[in-house]
Amino acid sequence: MKEGVERIHQLVEQWSPEDLLRWAFVTFGGYVEIASGFGAEGVVLIDIAAKVQPEFRIFTLDTDFLFPETYSLMQQIETRYGIRVERLKSALTPDDQERLHGPALWGRDPDACCNLRKVEPLQKKLSQLRAWVTSIRRDQTPARAGALKVEWDAKFHLVKINPLADWTTGKVWRYIHDHGLPYNPLHDRGYPSIGCTHCTRSVRPGEDARAGRWSGFNKTECGLHTPAQTSSLVSITQPSPSERATEA
């Protein structure tokens, strides 16, 4: 899956989110799923996916520490699209974690907490798939700036598909308002990026959009999208779905 990368860089970058999702569903079948944290980008990706293939599979990392508004949004999404969101959880309950690692691990070692409650459950899930789809964008964090629309995920050893990689914040919100999509009300209260209750605060005027995540720590990523090494494009030799339609 990693070979032939140089042939398709420009081709993939020109594809729309719809084309990328259509290709992913056809290419990987039941072995590709969408990961969502139900941020603004997440609801946009879900809406686009539902139009491409209503029976898509989706999962989220339920850390047991999410905001009530996030859990409520998940239920709204399930009802609106007639889907079931698979909730992945840590092998440790919050009580288990406190017993083994002490109280408030997130306040002492947020990387360890993220690893237990996010990275390990994700790793287990992705070992069953050939590809996963995310809603990350290049302008979110430095670690995501080099994200490709289709790349080899060297950290988890499968194909990673980022249909919204080149979207801006403005484009995301225009889509939400134009299509009347539900979104987390915390976004209207100064939370541009929403994670766990313990590690997320509202952003003050003039601060970076990610300043509210792990405030006080030199940390902007939970570890899911931090590459193990430089990512490479994967081989896609067939034309996009829209190009096939044009040729026909």
Active site residues: 222
Provide φ and ψ at 99, rounded to 5°. -65, -40
Helix axes 169-179, 40-52, angle to 10 degrees: 60
Residue pointed to by tokens 């698979």: 86
